Structures are given as C-alpha cells and as structure tokens.
C-alpha cells in the first residue's frame, strides 16, 4: 500500500471507536447506558467509587443473595405483583413502569401519599402497584391503552379516583402521570395497534432493542441528559420495564430476551443510598451536606447526573467482583439492583438509614 492509499480497515476501526459515520445495521442493539455511566464516573468530581469497599461489599452482597436464594421469583412472589403469565400481566407492567417515578415525600409515614388495598396500607412505589390493582378491582380498565385515549371514559376525575390517596397528600406529579398515560396511549394506537405485545415483538427478543425502541418512540421514556457537553443516557424506566418482564415471566414468553445482561441497574434514589451505606460510593462534602439537609437537587444538575451515572458503574463493578468470587453465580445488574432496593426498604422500616436519599422531582425515576 502506498502512502497515498486509504487503509479502509483502519478507517472503519477509527470510525467505530469514535462513533463517526453511519452505524452498522447488523450490529447487535446497545443502549449505551453502561458506556455513558463509565464516562460520567471517569469525569465525576463530586461522586467517587471506592474499589476497596466495592470488593468488601461484593463479599457481603454475594453471600446474602446466595443465602436468600435471590432470583426472579422474588419479584413474582410479592403479594401486589401480578401472578398470571399472559398479556394482562404485560399490560399491567407497562402501565406500572410508565408511571413508576417520584414517590418520595417530605411528610411522615402516616401523612404521606398512601393507598390501602385489601386492608393493607402501601406507600412509595408499592402505592402505585396497589392503586393499579384497586382500580382493576373497581372495573376501571387502568392498564388498557385504548382506555387512556378515550377522553369520554378516561377523564381526569376517573383517574383521580383510581389514584386517590388515604391522606390529604395527593399522588406526586399527578398531572405528569396523566400526560404520560395519554401520550403513550396515542403512540401505541398510531404505531403498534394499541398493543404492548406488538411493541415487545418488534424488539425481536432483544432487551437492549426494546429499551431503545421505547426511548426512540416514547418521549416519556427518553431519560437522557447532557454531562460535560456529552449526551448521556440513563433510561431507568425503559430498562426496568424490560427487567420486570424478564422477572415476571421468569425469562420465558414475553420475558425471553437473548441479551438480558445488557440491562444495567436502574438509576434512582434507593440504590445509590444503599451504595453509599456500603461505602461503595462517596460524596463531596457540599453534596453530602445538601442530601443530609434533604434539600432539593434539580433534575439535570451535575450532582444528580453524577449520582446516577456513578451508581450504574458501581453496580457493574460490584457485579464483576461477585462473579470473581462466585464464577457460577447466576447474577446480573438487575438482580443486584432488586436486592439492594429491597435492602434499602428494609433499613427504612427499621430506621437504620445511614443517609437520606437525594431529593429530585423528575418523571425519569
């Protein structure tokens, strides 16, 4: 080859490395969430990972998950989660994760938004699940996309009844949730014949493909931001929809994905809180002080993006360390996330929280 000739193979490698030029249509789907999290972590100045504590946490978390025989069955066994493995469960999960955001409250446990279902009071995320179950019992077709776009039947008054609270605190961001329902209903009607199963089938068995499809077609799933002049993706609710399908159907039927391990943790409030408790992530003094005072951090603030991005990368490091210790362990970021979330809720009940979770009002989580 002369000096004037172009080395096309090298050029293709450089284009792939720097994301230049058209994407390879034959490449397997990739959400870019993990790569973006690594970028955030590498450029973070206010949130840091501690690998020494990550190794120690891997021992403790791995052993505890093994002891509890933690698996997808834990999701299905919860009394509020649907038990049938059919289209009704698909619709329930989609509705649940469409609205699964911002349940924290500054009020006491007695005064915050809550839902009583079958004589039991529920708060936080489970208040949403309880409200959906209650609405279905009351013959409100709350999980039906056709219902969401029917302005005569699905009025704001009907939705307020479906999501009514036991207290005088209404469901946080109620208007935003209504907007998500109506927007998603129209997109499903126009592009997927109002069928969530058709949406899933369009992903052709790829978890990453379904996440990307949700982010591309549904603005309310497009959980992205700009950090250090680079677009970064978190895609919390899109990813948790895939994870919940996988867990509910135990990796079969509508939950059968050929690349489920591409799903990362779901960057929200509780898992970062637990990672800090374990010493895996640490905050700069001004950020930690803001969190301990339980003061608001605006969506898109560098602090918020660093908390979320570093948490995703931290769970990946934790997963890798657990696999080193237990090479045969059937474990991924989804199961670690589910486990740490449950652990955080246990500590909340017993008052053992080492630090409050960060406060951000957002539809993304």
Q: Which of 39, 1, 25, 28 is nearest to 231 (CA)?
A: 39
Tell me, what's the pLDDT at 187? 98
Q: Chain centroid to CA 339: how far?
A: 14
What average pLDDT does this structure show over 159-183?
97
Cα-based distances in Å from 194 to 96, 221, 223: 17, 17, 23
pLDDT, tens digit, 9 for 90 and up, residues 76-120: 899 999 999 999 999 999 999 999 999 999 999 999 999 999 999
d(CA 160, CA 234): 30
Q: Is the dihedral of CA 173, 175, 177, 183 positive or negative?
A: negative
DSSP tag of 261:
G
pLDDT above 90: residue 37: yes
d(CA 51, CA 310): 12
Q: What pLDDT does residue 347 have?
A: 85
Active centre residues (catalytic): 268
Segment 179-202 shows an average pLDDT of: 98
Angle at 34 between CA 31 and CA 38, to 5 degrees: 140
For the chain, give the percent of residues with pLDDT over 70: 93
Among 13-22, 61-70, 114-123, 183-192, the least confident range: 13-22
Distance from C-alpha of 326 to C-alpha of 62, rounded to nearest angstrom: 8
Q: Which residue has the higher pLDDT, 151 or 16?
A: 151
* Residue 357 DSSP class: P
- Separation of alpha carbons 93 and 89, rounded Å: 6
Q: Is the separation of the CB atoms in 363 and 173 below 8 Å?
A: yes
Q: What is the pLDDT of residue 19?
A: 55
DSSP string for residues in 127-150: HHHHHHHHHHHTT--TT-HHHHT-
Half-sphere exposure of 261 (CA within 13 A, CB side): 6
pLDDT, one tens digit per residue, over 216-273 is: 999 999 999 999 999 999 999 999 999 999 999 999 999 999 999 999 999 999 999 9
pLDDT band for position 164 (50/70/90)? very high
- Supply the mean pLDDT for the chain: 94
Pick left, alpha or beta for residue 290 (phi over 0 → left; psi -120 to 50 → alpha; otherwise beta). alpha
Mean pLDDT calculated for residue range 161-171:
97
Residue 353: the pLDDT is: 82
Reported as type and span, the H/E element at residue 281 is strand 281-283
Residue 348: pLDDT band by 50, 70, 90 thresholds? confident
Please compute the mean of the pLDDT values over residues 32-37 and round it to a whole number. Answer: 98
CA atoms within 13 A on the CB side of 99: 30
H/E stretch holding 47 reads strand 47-49
Q: How many residues does the chain have?
A: 365
Radius of gyration of the chain (CA): 21
Rounded Cα–Cα distance for residues 137 and 127 (Å): 15
């Amino acid at each position: 080859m002369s000096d004037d000739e172009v080395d096309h193979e090298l050029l293709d490698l450089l284009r792939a490395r720097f994301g230049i030029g058209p994407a390879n249509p034959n490449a397997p789907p990739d959400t870019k969430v993990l790569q973006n999290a690594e970028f955030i972590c590498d450029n973070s100045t206010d949130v840091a990972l501690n690998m020494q504590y990550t190794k120690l946490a891997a021992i403790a978390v791995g052993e505890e998950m093994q002891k509890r025989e933690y698996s997808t069955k834990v999701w299905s066994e919860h009394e509020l989660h649907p038990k049938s493995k059919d289209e009704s469960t698909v619709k329930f999960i989609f509705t649940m994760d469409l609205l699964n955001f911002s349940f924290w409250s500054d009020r006491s446990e007695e005064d915050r938004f809550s839902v009583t279902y079958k004589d039991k009071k529920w708060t936080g995320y489970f208040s949403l699940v309880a409200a959906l179950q209650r609405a279905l019992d009351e013959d409100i077709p709350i999980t039906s996309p056709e219902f969401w776009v029917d302005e005569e039947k699905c009025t704001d008054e009907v939705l307020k009844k479906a999501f009514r609270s036991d207290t005088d605190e209404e469901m946080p961001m109620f208007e935003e949730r209504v907007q998500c329902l109506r927007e998603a209903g129209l997109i499903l009607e126009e592009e997927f014949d109002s069928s969530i199963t058709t949406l899933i089938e369009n992903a052709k068995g790829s978890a990453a493909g379904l996440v990307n499809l949700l982010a591309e077609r549904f603005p309310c799933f497009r959980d992205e931001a700009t950090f250090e002049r680079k677009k970064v993706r978190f895609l919390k609710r899109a990813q948790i929809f895939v994870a919940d399908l996988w867990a509910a159907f135990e990796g079969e039927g509508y939950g059968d994905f050929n690349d489920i391990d591409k799903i990362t943790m779901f960057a929200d409030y509780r898992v970062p809180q637990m990672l800090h408790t374990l010493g895996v992530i640490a905050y700069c003094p001004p950020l930690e002080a803001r969190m301990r005072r339980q003061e608001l951090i605006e969506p898109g603030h560098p602090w918020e993006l660093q908390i979320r991005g570093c948490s995703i990368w931290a769970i990946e490091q934790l997963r890798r360390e657990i696999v080193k210790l237990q090479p045969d362990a059937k474990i991924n970021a989804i199961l670690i996330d589910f486990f740490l979330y449950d652990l955080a809720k246990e500590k909340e009940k017993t008052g053992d929280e080492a630090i409050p979770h960060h406060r951000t009002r957002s539809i993304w989580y």
